[in-house]
Amino acid sequence: MLAPDAAQLISDDKLVRAAGNQTGVNTRLRRKRDNRWVIALNHVSQIESNTPAGKAPGH
């Protein structure tokens, strides 16, 4: 919690698709409005992977 009406969430992000996998970090800032938590800001920093979908690195 940043404040009673503000919170930050940082999580791993992974997108698996035929066009190529992507991994990165997802950062969300949430604010409390009218007694509900809403996303005020969402940012994903992605690092592209050259690993084909469904294959482990090195295989």
Residue 49 identity = S
Does residue 58 have a pLDDT over 50?
Answer: yes
59 — pLDDT class (breaks 50, 70, 90): very low
Total domain count, the chain: 1
Q: What are the strands, taking DSSP E only, across 6-58?
A: 6-15, 22-33, 36-48
The answer to whether residues 4 and 30 touch, using CB atoms and an 8 Å cutoff, is: no
Q: Classify residue 56: in a domain, yes or no.
A: no
15 — pLDDT class (breaks 50, 70, 90): confident
The answer to whether residues 28 and 47 touch, using CB atoms and an 8 Å cutoff, is: no
54 — pLDDT class (breaks 50, 70, 90): low
Q: Classify residue 54: in a domain, yes or no.
A: no
Task: Tell me the residue range of the domain where 19 lies.
Answer: 6-48
How do residues 21-38 score in pLDDT, each as one tens digit? 889 999 999 999 999 999
